[in-house]
């Protein structure tokens, strides 16, 4: 969808970066056969999801479209489908 800011927000970046670090930590400790380190990596991945969700709730995520914007998108979509 053109014009969408999905994923290009501080909340998304923070959540993905923290989760990626957790994934890397978990992978290293899994190869090293360290159970505690593996679960610490899993915990970091879950923390990334939590941080991203909290940041979104405090307004650092993608804003919800207003009614006017949503109506314009629906009209544009309908006119494109009518042409096809």
The angle at the Cα of 14, spanning 16 to 28, to the nearest 5 degrees, equals 50
Domain chopping of the chain, boundaries = 10-83
- What is the secondary structure of 14-73 as a DSSP string? HHHHHHHHHHHHHHHHHHTT-HHHHHHHHHHHHHHHHHHHHHIIIIISPPPPPHHHHHHH
The model's pLDDT over 11-43, given as tens digits with 9 standing for 90+, comes to 889 999 999 999 999 999 999 999 999 999 999
Residue 20 confidence (pLDDT): 96
pLDDT in tens, 46-70: 999 999 999 988 888 877 777 777 7
Which residue's entry shows tokens 């405090």?
A: 58
CA distances from 48 to 13, 37, 41, 66 (A): 10, 17, 11, 28
What distance, in Å, lies between the first and last C-alpha atoms of the chain? 18
């Amino acid at each position: 969808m053109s014009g969408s800011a999905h994923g290009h927000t501080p909340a998304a970046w923070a959540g993905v970066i923290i989760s990626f670090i957790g994934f890397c930590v978990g992978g290293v400790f899994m190869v090293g056969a360290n159970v505690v380190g593996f679960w610490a990596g899993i915990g970091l991945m879950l923390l990334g999801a939590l941080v991203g969700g909290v940041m979104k709730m405090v307004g650092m995520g993608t804003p919800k479209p207003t009614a006017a914007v949503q109506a314009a998108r629906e009209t544009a979509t309908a006119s494109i489908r009518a042409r096809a």
